[in-house]
Structure 1
């Protein structure tokens, strides 16, 4: 009996230290490992070493967790990066160079693919992916326009870069060696030349 009480107290201490961000992170891990169907309350709770009751201190239900995961992916993987680059005051080409480096060095290539796969089966996730794509492409297109490219040229080159980066995420998520920086530099030169 004493042992059970001690275990319950230990679980409660762990649960008290867990915030919603821990659950979201665990949700991302499950999403990458097994898709959106793997994002379930009981297995996440077991992985975090708590009861599923702890989950309900932070979330209304599983749908609430999934919505927060999408919001976090959108915020951290798009808005925060754009804000950081815009706030740098760097010239457009330098911002584009930094953006490409951030994308290539991101450890979230497998997360990117997992969220996109989720978006193919869920209207809500699909809307988030489409919104992220528009935001990201709009930012890059704006940088290329600042460098003097026409609207049509900037739009086409933006799409080419975006497809290259998504391809890189897919390649590296499946274990391939990252593309060398010299290839990316060559691509940047091609994309920004007038």
Structure 2
């Protein structure tokens, strides 16, 4: 029986997932080929089967974060159907289920890398635009819709940054109250 090379045992996605985990735990500086290979119990050769170099992995990690934490969430919200108020509630609930560790690591990474800053700026704007659009659908004027979108988004990012997280049940109760307040029309 021919033994598969270890590089075929791990997929590109396995490396990206480990890169995201390491990024969240210890920052971008530690997302390096040799330490990741040790963590995954393989040689560096396995890495080079899937990536040209560390920069290639870092780009893949960044794009995976965008896919999961922005595009994927928007797709999930849109797939639920319902009106804009229901979509906003689901969006808020999904957002608070994240622990914010990868988000914080990406924001820290952006402080030293203008390319990451540019991606983060696009992500922030895309998230705000999507949320604003839902508030517009609820019936708020453009300025009010943007203020409401910023309030909820900045509160969430600030909560991630400060690390002030209550337990999940309390957090869901809080975000549902925020939803009620922000979608209420006077």
What TM-score does the superposition give when structure 2 sets the normalisation length?
A: 0.90
Alignment match, 2:166: 177
Alignment match, 2:70: 78
Deviation at 1:171, TM superposition (A): 4.4
Deviation at 1:144, TM superposition (A): 0.2
Please point out which of 119, 122, 127 is paired with 1:131: 122
Please point out which of 1, 7, 12 is paired with 1:15: 7
Find out whether 1:111 has 2:116 as its counterpart: no
Find out whether 1:190 has 2:181 as its counterpart: yes
Alignment match, 2:143: 152
Structure 2 SS opposite 1:180: helix
Return the index of the structure with the highest Cα Rg.
1
Indicate the larger mover: 142-151 or 177-186. 177-186
Alignment match, 1:49: 41
The unaligned stretches of length 5 or more in structure 2 are: none
Compared with structure 1, are the counterparts of its residues 181 and 29 closer, same or farther at alpha carbon in structure 2 (3 Å cutoff)?
Answer: closer
The 5-angstrom pairing of residues 84-99 of structure 1 reads: 84-99=76-91
Please point out which of 4, 27, 32 is paired with 1:35: 27
The unaligned stretches of length 5 or more in structure 1 are: 1-8
Indicate the larger mover: 161-170 or 54-63. 161-170
Indicate the larger mover: 183-192 or 62-71. 183-192
CA contact (8 A) 2:96 2:172 kept: no
CA contact (8 A) 2:7 2:49 kept: no
Q: How far apart are the structure 2 equivalents of 1:73 and 1:181?
A: 23
Structure 2 SS opposite 1:121: coil
| Over 4 Å off, 4+ runs | none
Indicate the larger mover: 43-52 or 31-40. 31-40
Pairwise CA RMSD of aligned residues?
A: 1.7
Indicate the larger mover: 161-170 or 46-55. 161-170
The 5-angstrom pairing of residues 48-67 of structure 1 reads: 48-67=40-59
